[in-house]
Structures are given as structure tokens and as C-alpha cells.
Amino acid sequence: MTLKQLLIILGMATAVCWIGWAVILFNVDPSEAGFFGFALFYVSLFSALLGSFFMLTFAVRKLFNKLEMDYKIVKISFRQSVFFAGLFVLVLFLQSKSLLAWWNLIVIVVALALLEFFFLSSKKQ
């Protein structure tokens, strides 16, 4: 699969995920949804954010890092997109359960930063 094919397929999949999330947002009643409705909401939001963050981080990395190999940019962009989307959805979930506090957010961000530093430092030479 070429890079162009990957970006086209991912762009279309991201658009479908955003449409799916909007359908869930406007058509599912939270008081009657139960676990399945909330799970669909969070999974579709995570998927849509993952694709959007990937496209954004890939474009920024490709713009500023022209000498880097494409597969390395894809790998790093995907990993960071998972972190960003996961952070966003986790914060949203904690807020919905009234468990979000400033210190929770700091702990989550520091944990993700340490995880990213681990991945960056464990690169093979």
C-alpha cells in the first residue's frame, strides 16, 4: 500500500467515523442508552479523533521533517494520535462521571509523556 492510498483510505474512514459519531450523538438518548449506547459513543469518538489526529500530526511532521522516511512518520504519528485521542476520550469520560480534577489531568498527561519518552528513547540505532 502506498502512502497516498493509506491517506485516502484513512481520510474516508475518518469521515465515516465522524458521521457515525454524529448519528450516535443526535439519535441516542443518554437516559435510555445504557452501557451499549455509551460504549458506541466513546468508541466512535475515539476512532474519529484517532483518524483526525493522525492526519494532522502526519501533515505537520511531513511539512517540517522532509528528510524523514515516510514509514517512520506514519509510525510516530499513529502512536501519538492514539495518545491524544485516548487522552481526550479519557478526560471526557472522567468528566461525565464527575471524577475529573486538575491533579488527575496532570497525572494522566505526565504518564503519557513518560510513555512517549520511553518510546522515543528505545529507538534502535
End-to-end CA distance of the chain: 26
Q: What is the Cα–Cα distance from 105 to 91, expressed in whole angstroms?
A: 7
Q: What is the Cα–Cα distance from 55 to 52, expressed in whole angstroms?
A: 5
Work out the angle at residue 114's Cα, subtended by the Cα atoms of residues 112 and 118, and round it to the nearest 5 degrees.
115
pLDDT in tens, 60-107: 998 888 787 888 889 989 999 999 999 999 999 999 999 989 999 999
pLDDT over 70 for what percent of the chain?
Answer: 98
Identify the H or E element spanning 118: helix 102-121
Going from N- to C-terminal start, the domains of the chain cover 3-121
pLDDT score recorded for residue 92: 94
pLDDT band of residue 40 (cuts 50, 70, 90) is very high
Which residues touch 70 (CB under 8 Å, ≥6 apart)? Answer: 3, 62
Residues 43-47 have a mean pLDDT of: 96
Cell 459513543, located at residue: 41
